[in-house]
Amino acid sequence: MQVRVAGGARVALESAVITHGLPYPHNHEAAQRMQHAVREAGATPCIVAILQGVACVGISDAELEALALQPAPSKIALHNLGIACGMQITGGTTVAATAYLAHKAGIEVMATGGIGGVHQDGRDVSGDLPTLARTPLLVVCSGAKAIVDLSATREWLQTHGVPIVGYQTDELPGFYTAQTGLRTDARVDDVDALVPLWRAHRELGTAILVVQPPPSEYAIPRAELDALLSQALTECAAAGVSGGAVTPWLLRRLAELSAGRTVQVNLALLEANARLAGQIATRLHQG
């Protein structure tokens, strides 16, 4: 593993959103906006990725551009991280792989859009969840991806000791929407209030999710999102898409059905989450 940014206030950034979450040039724009937001908050962004088999914590602008343009990148989670490194593969790291590598690099704060979760069929459980249950990391996100079963995901996290803290919200966001009807475990209204919570929790050895809804000017009403998602899920099943291909397929279809609105929400929440993570990392570094 190459840790290219050592010490100071650092924020790990997931790269699967670059390789699989958004199409070019939106993926490159998202990464740039996230990095800028972290820097504005006084911290250093560290995009985590696998480049020709090397686990990199922090990549250059040229490497970011190449990753965003990669024609057939691999999606690297924890189960295939060693394989990717051994076979000298290039790809984007999921929340699970990013969290694992960030923790090994001594980073305490990570930002992403949404974590994986328990899928609608109840059988497929994202590798993000068990990794969060055994990795002490503060993860800023907008809840779980909208395509998963949010209630079951919420229950899984609670059962396995991963608390959800709402930042200026009492409700677990649903990625594209602020409304889910699911309560957080606690609410804080400023960054300073998060510091003692994290310091008290990290000794338990699990992650803590700090969630905030997507910016209100971009968020999609819950009823409208539910209709879009229902159609996309039906079409996905009819097309026979399965396994790791489901998430990117659904994200692309939601973007089409919403005339690009989901992409704009995604960009906005990624930037907002990176900014909050940068503020938290800076405050933690100050002591």
Q: What is the 3-state secondary structure (H, E, C) of the chain?
A: CEECCCCCCEEEECCHHHHHHCCCCHHHHHHHHHHHHHHHCCCEEEEEEEECCEEEECCCHHHHHHHHHCCCCEEECCCCHHHHHHCCCCEEECHHHHHHHHHHCCCCEEECCCECCECCCCCCECCHHHHHCCCCCEEEECEECCCCCHHHHHHHHHHCCCCEEEECCCECCECCECCCCCECCEEECCHHHHHHHHHHHHHHCCCEEEECCCCCCCCCCHHHHHHHHHHHHHHHHHCCCCHHHHHHHHHHHHHHHCCCHHHHHHHHHHHHHHHHHHHHHHHHHHC
- Point out the catalytic residue in the list 75, 108, 145, 271: 145
Active site residue 14: yes
User: Which pair of tokens denotes residue 109?
Assistant: 């704060």
- Point out the catalytic residue in the list 14, 75, 108, 271: 14
Active site residue 145: yes
The count of other CB atoms within 10 Å of the CB of residue 170 is: 10
Q: What is the distance between the alpha carbons of residues 180 and 151, in angstroms, rounded to a whole number?
A: 9
Q: Are the C-beta atoms of 52 and 90 separated by less than 8 Å?
A: yes
Catalytic residue numbers, as ranges = 14, 145
